[in-house]
Amino acid sequence: MDELAEAAGITVRTLRFYRERGLISPPRREGRIAWYDDHHLAKLRTIAALLERGHTLNGIADLNTAFESGKDVSEVLGLGEPTEEEPVRLTPQELADYFAGEVTPENLLTALDLGYLATDGDAIVHISRRLLDVSAALVKEGIPLAAVLEAGRAVREHAEALAGLFTELLREHAEEKDIQRLRPLAKSVVEAELSMAMDRRLREP
């Protein structure tokens, strides 16, 4: 514990306090010896970085609880399932940097519920780099993250319906082996229709 506290630049008393709050996991024990490792040091450095960015210990504890109650990456992504999206591994500090001031326990729980975020050991995984980058860009333009997430929930419902429509169409009229090859055609139809719908909406007073 002394060595870990020194490496993290904190006092042993502070380290004990963090342990009591559940901010770091217990050490691995061998008899009377308690072993801390790089994961504990990384968590302490993340806590320090979040505190520097204005997060409170209560808020950090809530974030920690939110992640621990979330699904792991295999549940969200589905091992072996095909995907065109690129998952992104993040530390809590990096996630906070993407959405400065907006990474609240409420927003995290919404993101976990939607399946945008998952856990992989001590790391956080966002299921899609494209969604992560677009969400961050919208927040930087002044749109609250909570509103972005609720819009994402609504889009998810419509996207599921569209995916069902095109999957049934292709399975009815194409060979199963050709469905992945024809998938981009379905996406092009959706993109074109969305573009024209945006044109119509933007022309409205």
Q: What is the radius of gyration, based on Cα positions, of the chain? A: 22
Q: What is the pLDDT of residues 97-115, one digit of tens each?
A: 888 778 887 888 888 888 8
Mean pLDDT over all residues of the chain?
A: 85
Model confidence band, residue 79 (pLDDT cutoffs 50, 70, 90) = very low
**pLDDT at residue 70, rounded to an integer:** 62
DSSP bridge partners of 34: 29
Q: Would the pTM of this model clear 0.85, i.e. be above it? A: no
What are the φ/ψ torsions at residue 29 (nearest 5 degrees)?
Answer: -110, 135
